[in-house]
Structure 1
Amino acid sequence: MQKTSQQLQAVFCTEAQLPSVVDQLYQFRKKLFVDALRWDLRVEHGRERDQFDTDTAVHCAIFRDGSLFAGFRAIRTDRPYLAESVFPQLATFAAYPRRHDAWEISRFGVAPSQAGSTTAKVLYSLMFHFARTRQASALVALTDLRHERFLTQIGVRTRRYGPPQVLGLDEKGDPLVLVAGDIPVATQDGWRFDNLLNLAKTVEIDDETLVLGSERLSA
């Protein structure tokens, strides 16, 4: 797999398809979520991975100049997934979905050195690219209130499954307030959302998980 210099590249794959890329993601997740954000997660041999990193999980790795700086994991909700399995108490208004057309997005993050608003928007744009190629009706996630507000600012509508709850402490020792919910894909519109989608056009996308096989394209 070739990397394009001076250009963003996103790779979608399973661990079986590109084990070296997913291994980089596990190391990146340890540095970001455990070392920087102080999440209490299991680490083995410098890598963060959990029981939901199965053969069916789809991983997205984003590179700049050959260096991985962002990514996320996607799991169909008709299979076991993190939010429903580990945080059932967060869904009190509505039940977590169990459908083949709803996907959970987790381990979503950007390296602190690249955490400007434009970079974060590219990651969200690629998340919607993924949703559209899978004909997903909803994207399920756990998020803190800061990220929920950021989504509103960039024109993304969300739905809560329950009220925010304090679940531990953040990297500064302040209460970490999380909320479970989803993004209904079909109802997203408006100029801010259109601008967000257009950011994916700046990225070279390599999707190893397409039904017809690997296909390189400009989004």
Structure 2
Amino acid sequence: MIIVIDGINQHKFKDVLDEMFKLRARVFGDRLGWEVNIEDGRERDQFDDLNPAHVVSISDEGDVVGCMRLLQTTGPHMLADVFNSILDGEPPIRSSQVWEATRFCVDTKKLGRGRGKNSVSYVTSEVMIGSFEYAMEAGVKDAVAVIDPVMNRVLQRSGNAPYDYVGTAKPMGKVVAMAALMDCSEERISSIRNYAGIDHDVFLSDEQARNLFDKIETAQMSPANRDHKPLTELETYFVEQMAAAKTEPERQAVLNLIEALSDKFTPEQKTALLQTPRAFAHEA
């Protein structure tokens, strides 16, 4: 599912953005070997400081598995200021109705092959749908993207082929870069949806995204997980129930259930779970 993080709501999702920057470092730095700025395991550049819109895919497990950055072309952007040699001396695109799409990536280690929901293909299409629908809602007519020939082929076979190109392809370090134009239109979105078999609304509300991402953070915070062993389904259930409890009677009901099922846990697990609710109760 997709959450769009921009200058308005980014204060709510600093941890999601942090995971996104880590994903970008793993993909662009480690896997692709691009010459990008990586500090403390996070890939960021000067364009991330301009309040772009980040289209982020979050899995059902609460992991960041894909992203793309959308930036207005009326100010600084990569095609104008980094990849301008592609333009062959022509002036860069400057229009309020054209956005630049960059830093697209997906987590190939957490996603599988094929066309299923947890596949690279599905998340790629989901990010594209979210990006084009968000841009259309903002009145954007076209997107320009700096891509390589491999990504160009991916777009062509996934119902998302560019309708034109700007300038000419140029060697950029280890890759060849080209600037592709794609219209933000109902026809393009429909084509991507048909390819991926996605007919539902891909967007999460801020609240839904926050709750989904918090699921994994809650499990990682639990004293029951301090030894870094995977939580059992029952442990995860109790951690989530306690996190969702709003009143003292609700918290007590979870405690009572833990006691009733005490034979299902080792003494260490039981102690940790009983400490976890008290920590939540103290913070509430």
TM-score range, shorter chain: 0.7 to 0.9
Q: 2:143 is matched with which residue? A: 139
Deviations 1:146-187 (A, max 9, x none): 211222222324211122222122xxxxxx221113212248
Quote the residue 1:24 is aligned against: 19
> How many Å separate the matches in 2 of 1:134 and 1:117?
26
Greater fraction helix:
2
TM-score normalised to the size of structure 2? 0.61
Q: Which residue of structure 1 lines up, in the alignment, with residue 230 of structure 2? A: none
Provide Cα deviations, 1:26-75, integer angstroms capped at 9, x if missing partner.
Answer: 11111111111111111112211111012421112211110111001111
Q: Following the alignment from structure 2 to structure 1, what is the Cα–Cα distance between the partners of residues 46 and 173?
A: 21
| 2:202 corresponds to | 203
Letter aligned with residue 34 of structure 2:
W
Unaligned 5+ runs, structure 2: 112-118, 208-284
The CA RMSD measured in Å over matched residues stands at 2.5
Larger strand fraction of residues = 1
CA shift for structure 1 position 192: 3.2
Aligned identity (percent) is 24
| Preserved CA contact (<8 Å) 1:162 1:181 | no
Change (3 A) 1:207 1:180: farther
Which of these two proteins has the greater Rg computed from alpha carbons? Answer: 2
Matched position secondary structure for 2:205: strand
1:13 aligns with 2:5: yes
Residue of structure 2 equivalent to 1:123: 127
| Native 8 Å contact 1:122 1:200 kept in 2 | no
Q: Secondary structure at the match of 1:163?
A: strand
Per-residue deviation, residues 189-218 of structure 1 (Å, max 9, x unmatched):
59634525872626342369xxxxxxxxxx
Partner of 1:212: none
- The separation in 2 between residues aligned to 1:198 and 1:49, in whole angstroms, is 33
What letter matches 2:37 in structure 1?
A: R
CA separation of 1:148 and 1:207: change in aligned 2, threshold 3 A: farther
Tell me whether 192-201 or 133-142 shows the greater mean CA deviation: 192-201
> In 2 relative to 1, CA 112–12 (structure 1 residues): closer, same or farther, beyond 3 Å?
same
Match of 1:85 in 2: 81
Give secondary structure in 1 for the equivalent of 2:35.
coil
Q: How does 1:1-219 map to 2 (within 5 A)?
A: 9-14=1-6, 15-64=10-59, 65-92=61-88, 95-113=91-109, 114=111, 116-158=120-162, 159-169=164-174, 176-186=175-185, 188-189=187-188, 192-193=191-192, 195=194, 199=198, 201=200, 203-206=202-205
Matched position secondary structure for 2:48: coil
For the 8 Å contact 1:140–1:181, the answer to whether it is kept is: yes
Evaluate the alpha carbon distance shift between residue 205 and residue 40 of structure 1 in structure 2; reply closer, same or farther with a 3 A threshold. same
TM-superposed CA distance for 1:94, in Å, is 5.8
